[in-house]
Every structure is written in C-alpha cells, then in structure tokens.
C-alpha cells in the first residue's frame, strides 16, 4: 500500500474532546492524571518547549505532524532498523492494575453458582481446602460455611511442623479463634446460630460459619468404610442435605476422589476455584497483540507522530485503544512492518513507541541477536532501565534463560546499571529426589543450575580475541558477578542494584512469588521465567501457579512487562518434541 504524502498542515492542539478519559474501577486511588488539560499536543515549530507537560517525555520535542483527514488509509513509516532509540521517560509511577471483572468473577465461582431462585447455599469444606488456602473461609460471599468435626480433627493432626501446609493449618486455627473471640460473651457458649464471617473485617463474606456441634444422625453408606475420614465427611453432607431441605448443601474439596464418590452417591460436590486465576491457559495475557488489517483506517483520524531522541512516537485514537495495556507490544507485519509498545493509554487514545530492532547486528546484546518477533519484544523489556519487573513465558527452547543472562551481563559489565546478577530457582525435581547435597549454599544449588551453565558456555563462545588466557579471565570475571542463591534463605533480604533472575517460577505458589519479588530494593530488576506447561509441583496447576498469578496482577503496570515466547530456537529436535510429545 503506498504511503500518503507528507502532511502540509501545521501541528495543532489536541482538544480534550478528542480523548475519552478512562473510568477507573480500582478501589484505591492511583497516581494516573486524567485531567483533560494534560491532553495537550506538542507545540508547532518555532515555539521551543511544549505548552504543557508532554505525556511521553519531559524533553523538548520536534514538531508534531497531524495526519491529513482523507479517505485514503494511512500507515506510519517505521524508522530504519539501525537507529538506536532512547527509552522514553515514564510519566508517572503507576500501581499494578487490579484484576479485571472477569478475573474477579472467576475467582469466586464457588460462591456464585446459585440456582435460578438465587437461594443461599450451604458449603461443607473438606480439610484440604483449608490447607490449600487458609483464607478460604471468607471466599463464599453471602453463603454459609459448615466445618465437620472430622475437618477440625484433621487440621489438628497437621498443625505441627515448618512446612507450608502446617503454616496454613495454624493460620486457619488462628482465624477460627479470632472469629469466636469476636462474638459477644452470651453467644460464645453456643454456635447454633452461626458465627458471622464478616466480624474480622471481610466485608465480602456476609454468610455465617457453622460447626458440627452434635453427632448428626445418618445411616451408614453401604459399601463405604465408616472409619475413614472422607466417608465420614460424606455422611455429614448427606445428613445436612436431609435436614436443610430449604438450602442446597454442597461439598467443596480439592480431592478428586471424594468428589467422584459424592457424585456417585447423588451429593453435590465442587472443586475450590478461588486459587484459579484463569480457566484456560490460552486465555492468559500474552503481552503482545496483532493489529487488525483495518487498524489504520479506523484509528488514523487526528493521529499525531513525532520523533524524540531517535525514537518515533504515534498518538492514535479509536475503539481498540481501550483494550490496550501499558507496556503491551503491538505489531503489524505488513509493509513496512511496525513493532511498537504502548507507552500510555487514556480512554480511547494511546501513545505508541516504536521499539529498537534487536535482530540487527548493531543492537546485539552480549553478542545475542533476536531470532523472532517475541524475542525482540523480550529484549526490549530486559534492556529498558525503566522496567523493574519482567515475566517471560514460553515452552522449552524459546530462549528465556539465554536472553535474560545476555541482558543481565550487558547491563552489569558493559553499562554497569546493575552491580551483580543473582540467580535462583525452585528446587522441584522431575523424578525421585536424590537426597541431601553436600557443600555450601552455592554448591548445593549448583546441580540445579545446569541450564545457566549451558547458556554461559554459549555466551562465552565469542570471546576468542585474547586466546585461552583471555577466555579464562573473561570467564572468571563473569562468574564473579553471578551469584547463585537458594530461595529458602531469601526472607528478610533486600537486593539493591541487582539483576535478579527467578527460573522455573511456574513451580512457585503466589505466596512464594510475593516473598521473592518484595526482596527487590532500589535499582533492582526482577526477571521471572517459566513454562506453565511443565509444572512439577504436585499441588499446582496452570491456573493456580504463582507465575500465572503474577502475570495477571502486573498486567498494565507502567514499570512491568510480560512476553510469551512462541517459537522454539533450540534445535529442530527440541521443537518437534515440544509439539508432538
């Protein structure tokens, strides 16, 4: 498609009516400025500085070229690939965006499955639900929760120890004790009327908590052993269903087998869904978006473009802009191709910044070039000093570890933005555990770091100028700047000016991810990598993994970004195995 002629109309002010301010649904106020007076375009040539604060950068900018309003389609021209753009300064420090309404509805499906009459339900909790999520008592909104005596007995049997399950059990016990202490003295002797779940400040939980205070009369289920804990809980569910005919009694359990037995006996049973961020891994935010073929026809009206420090910017307006997220990559593979990142979103107006082409030899990162579009997006995030948090998803062989190590070495040894690279990973074995390992902390972690050793070998291949002595000295210098740490000893630490790489993050829980990310101090970048299709932890799924949780929660934050790598680059054997096995 031929490009239009250069616009002859001088730059004009962007009127406040040209942008629709986005209505925020966050509960806490953000720092994002939505004053219409801030939506001011850059001044015409000869006026020097803009008349108001620019939404992209504080530096003086060149004149703005407004696209002519003509019926012919408009497509922006991408600057040459060898040009090295400077990263535009972020306008304001935004907080991570709150989960969308669709995600919030997914996390409460266990309490939203009402029938057509809208009647309240009676949820009987299995022990494993409380062990899995100690705050699950408060996740059922207006519905009532029932705890069988066998559930309390099993909780008491798992309260000792330093494991994650033991900590969850103790937290549940403290919550139950706090609920009882919040009752008036006259009601502490009898729980027949239930305990309000909202008494501890959980305003969403408007139901009540009931304990099994008596031996419920029920006929033993034929064919099931009466002494087994699961069968006793099934008996309680059956007895409650016969007693409370005005309510639907539902068993909630993470145990698949007890749910199967419940269905076989005609008893309603559900899984606990609150820990599921998404239903399908294909619905997870990918960090990139292909622009539709008619994007420039529908979004070129009043479009503005300018260059600043060698980087091209476009301000576009249209219906698709409302679906953009800050630091989301957009691309158009027509001629000429366009690879850009969303710099700012205000209602139906968005600012796009053309990214650097890391597939060009002049933009190589520690000798590494991007081999595909997603790798180019990943390097754009990893090399941006304004991005503090990066998540990389992808199957085996997509280059996650290699790109992160190359970016870390380049910014530690060349530009000296960071003074050290810290590497850690979840130590979850694929097969049988080999037992305790001897040595120091770093020596114990060394067998888990084979992937980093392989990638360091690739990165050191290009150091042939100094001979054997030069390669040895360079290798020693690199290893002196890379520290291998165990995440078991991360609690209480603060990393300042560090490049922190968390590998195999798909095996971490949301709580563990929070504990690691909050170790970041001033000037630290955190990179989380993983493949949610290769979860080795027996207690996590694609929807409940801490990596999935983090990607969804950090979506749209001004200082965080995510990319899902699509194409494997390891070898044709690895690519074929990933597809067919």
pLDDT at 94 exceeding the cut of 70? no
Tokens of 557: 């934050």
pLDDT for position 279 = 64
Cβ-proximal residues to 231 (8 Å cutoff; 6+ apart), any chain: 221, 224, 225, 261
Distance CA 376, CA 503 (A): 20
Q: Which letter, b or e, does each residue of 5-38 get, where b requires 16 or more Cβ atoms within 10 Å of its Cβ?
A: eebeeebeebeeebbeeeeeeeeeeeebeeeeee
Contact 126, 252 (CB under 8 A): yes
pLDDT for position 8 = 45
Q: Where in 42-143 does DSSP place strands (E)?
A: 65-66, 121-125
Q: Which letter, b or e, does each residue of 464-497 get, where b requires 16 or more Cβ atoms within 10 Å of its Cβ?
A: eeeeeeebeebeeebeeebebbebeebeeeebee
Sheet strands side by side (includes 329-332): 65-66, 304-308, 311-317, 349-354, 338-346, 329-332, 288-290
Distance CA 92, CA 559 (A): 10
pLDDT at 3 exceeding the cut of 80? no
Q: Domains of the chain (ranges plus CATH)? A: 1-23+34-67+278-355 (no CATH), 108-270 (3.40.50.1010), 364-580 (3.40.50.300)
Contact 156, 124 (CB under 8 A): no
Q: Where in 495-567 does DSSP place strands (E)?
A: 498-503, 525-530, 560-565
pLDDT for position 74 = 44
What is the chain's mean pLDDT, rounded?
77
Residue pLDDT, tens place only, 207-264: 999 998 887 766 666 767 777 888 889 988 988 998 888 889 999 998 899 999 999 9
Position 317 confidence tier, pLDDT thresholds 50, 70, 90: very high
pLDDT for position 9 = 44
Closest listed residue to residue 486, CA positions, set 542, 437, 413: 437
Quick one: how far is CA 173 from the chain centroid?
Answer: 30
pLDDT for position 118 = 63
pLDDT at 27 exceeding the cut of 50? no
Residue pLDDT, tens place only, 147-191: 999 999 999 998 888 787 888 899 999 999 999 998 888 777 778
Pairing mode of beta strands 338-346, 329-332: antiparallel
SS3 190: coil
Q: Read off the pLDDT of each residue in 328-355 and give the average, rounded to a whole number.
A: 93
Residue pLDDT, tens place only, 416-472: 999 999 988 877 655 555 566 677 766 667 666 677 777 777 777 766 555 666 667
Residue 135 has a CB neighbour count (10 Å cut-off) of 14
Residue pLDDT, tens place only, 102-117: 433 333 444 444 444 5
pLDDT at 45 exceeding the cut of 70? no
pLDDT at 7 exceeding the cut of 70? no
Torsions phi, psi for 117 (to 5 deg)? -80, -10
């Amino acid at each position: 498609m031929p490009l239009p002629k250069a616009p002859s109309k001088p730059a004009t002010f962007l009127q406040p009516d040209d942008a629709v301010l986005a209505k925020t649904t966050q509960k806490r106020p953000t720092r994002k400025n939505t004053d219409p007076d801030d939506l001011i375009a850059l001044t015409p040539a000869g006026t020097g500085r803009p008349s108001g604060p620019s939404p992209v950068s504080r530096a003086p900018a060149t004149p703005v070229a407004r696209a002519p309003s003509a019926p012919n389609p408009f497509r922006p021209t991408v600057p040459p690939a060898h040009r090295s753009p400077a990263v535009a300064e972020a306008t304001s420090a935004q907080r991570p965006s709150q989960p969308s309404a669709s995600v919030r509805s997914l996390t409460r499906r266990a309490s939203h499955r009402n029938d057509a009459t809208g009647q309240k339900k009676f949820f009987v909790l299995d022990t494993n639900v409380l062990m899995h999520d100690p705050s699950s008592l408060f996740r059922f909104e207006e519905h009532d929760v029932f705890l069988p005596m066998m559930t309390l007995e099993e909780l008491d049997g798992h309260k000792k120890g330093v494991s994650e399950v033991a900590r969850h059990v103790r937290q549940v016990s403290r919550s139950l004790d706090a609920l009882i202490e919040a009752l008036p003295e006259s009601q502490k002797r009898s729980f027949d009327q239930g305990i309000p779940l909202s008494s501890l400040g959980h305003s969403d939980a408007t139901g009540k908590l009931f304990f099994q205070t008596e031996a419920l009369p029920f006929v033993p289920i034929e064919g099931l052993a009466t002494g087994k804990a699961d069968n006793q809980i099934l008996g309680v569910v059956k007895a409650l269903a016969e007693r409370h005919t005005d309510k639907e009694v539902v068993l909630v359990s993470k145990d698949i087998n007890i749910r199967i037995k419940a269905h076989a006996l005609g008893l309603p049973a559900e899984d606990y869904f609150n820990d599921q961020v998404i239903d399908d891994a294909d619905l997870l935010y990918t960090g990139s978006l292909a622009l539709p073929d008619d994007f420039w026809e529908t979004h070129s009206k009043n479009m503005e473009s300018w260059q600043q420090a060698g980087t091209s910017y476009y301000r576009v307006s249209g219906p698709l802009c409302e679906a953009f997220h800050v630091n989301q990559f957009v691309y158009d593979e027509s001629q000429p191709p366009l690879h850009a990142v969303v710099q700012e979103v205000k209602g139906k107006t968005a600012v796009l910044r053309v990214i650097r082409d890391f597939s060009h030899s002049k933009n190589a990162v520690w000798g590494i070039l991007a081999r595909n579009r997603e790798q180019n997006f990943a390097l754009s995030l990893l090399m941006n000093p304004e991005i503090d948090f990066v998540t990389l998803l992808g199957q085996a062989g997509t280059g996650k570890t290699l790109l992160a190590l190359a970016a870390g070495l380049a910014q530690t040894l060349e530009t000296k933005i960071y003074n050290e690279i810290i590497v850690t990973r979840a130590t979850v074995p694929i097969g049988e555990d080999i037992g305790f390992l001897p040595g120091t902390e770093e020596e114990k972690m060394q067998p888990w770091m084979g992937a980093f050793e392989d990638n360091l070998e690739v990165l050191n291949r290009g150091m042939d100028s100094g001979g054997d002595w030069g390669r040895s000295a360079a290798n020693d210098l690199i290893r002196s700047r890379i520290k291998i740490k165990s995440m078991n000893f991360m609690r209480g630490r603060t990393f300042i000016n560090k490049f922190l790489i968390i590998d195999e993050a798909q095996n971490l829980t949301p709580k563990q991810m929070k504990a690691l990310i909050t170790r970041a101090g001033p000037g630290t970048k955190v990179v989380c990598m993983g493949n949610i299709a290769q979860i080795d932890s027996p207690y996590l799924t694609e929807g409940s993994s801490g990596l999935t949780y983090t990607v969804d929660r950090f979506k749209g934050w001004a200082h965080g970004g995510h990319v899902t790598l699509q194409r494997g680059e390891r070898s044709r054997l690895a690519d074929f195995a990933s597809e067919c096995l």
